[in-house]
Structure 1
Amino acid sequence: MLLLQKIALENGYTKIMLGSCASGIACHVLSATVKGHGYSLPADVQYVDTRWDVPVVLPLRDVLAQELSLLCELDSLKTQQLLDRPCRGINSLVASFVARLREENPSREHTILRTAQKLKPFSFNKFSADGYHDFLPSRLRPKDQIEDYLLEDDDVGK
């Protein structure tokens, strides 16, 4: 992330959009939990992360890896497959575990993601009026933020 931030600052970019999909984030949630890095999970699973100088946006957060592969195939885009290596670490073990869960029930990755999303986001992950919400589906905004927005609109009319 530091390297991406350095490149973005050098080139004057205003946002970094990562291609992390639901499948990858589900693996990250489980491996971070196993490693004891659960404190940062609320920040890692949100659409927007403004901790950095250049904000990071995850527009593909709700798309499964299989869906993404199918879309790339339909658009005739080339994709790269990772080499199958023996499991040597926690990340590999978690990835194989999530793959087995996916075989039983493809919605498990979304379930893991929804469970992690219930963690209270940090202030730098909140939707704000500075335009980061343009990349996000409005149907997925947290209820308390929608209520705050509606209350602000009601106050304007008075």
Structure 2
Amino acid sequence: MSGRQVVFAHGKESGPWGTKIRYLADMAVAAGWSVESPDYSGLDDPGDRLEQLLARPRDAERLVLCGSSMGGYVSAMACQRLQPHGLFLLAPAVYLPGYPGEPADCPAATVVVHGWRDDIVPPANAIRFAESRGCALHLLDDGHRLVDSLDFIGRQFSELLRSLG
């Protein structure tokens, strides 16, 4: 088994190494974690993305899933099978039409960051997700892409990785 790994899942209209993922990946590597960010470009169906994530081999002793928007949905839905130690979600696309199912077995170390001004995924969806799991939820004065909150997101992500060793 390898050590500690973070697997990122990008949003529907972004790529595997967008601004947020690069920023967080650099932090993870600096903290001694390996990183992976599969390319889901061209897969518009969240179920197809989930299957691609689940099909990838995993052998990390410590696994953190991190997803943004559609990638947040994919990461949350993968928890039941992958059993990650941590889950970090940015504006997760949960409880939307075309995104079926209820994420199960999300780890205790789950953090959700969402913008109050999100015009793609209503903040109420993040509240519902976090409330039903009793996990950390940060609602910020930002939109769906959370572009004005990168420093805050980085601090929360670093804290999560530190807490997992």
| Structure with the larger RCO, 1 or 2 (CA within 8 Å, 6+ apart) | 1
Structure having the larger proportion of residues in strand? 2
TM-score, length-normalised on structure 2?
A: 0.24
Structure with larger Rg: 1
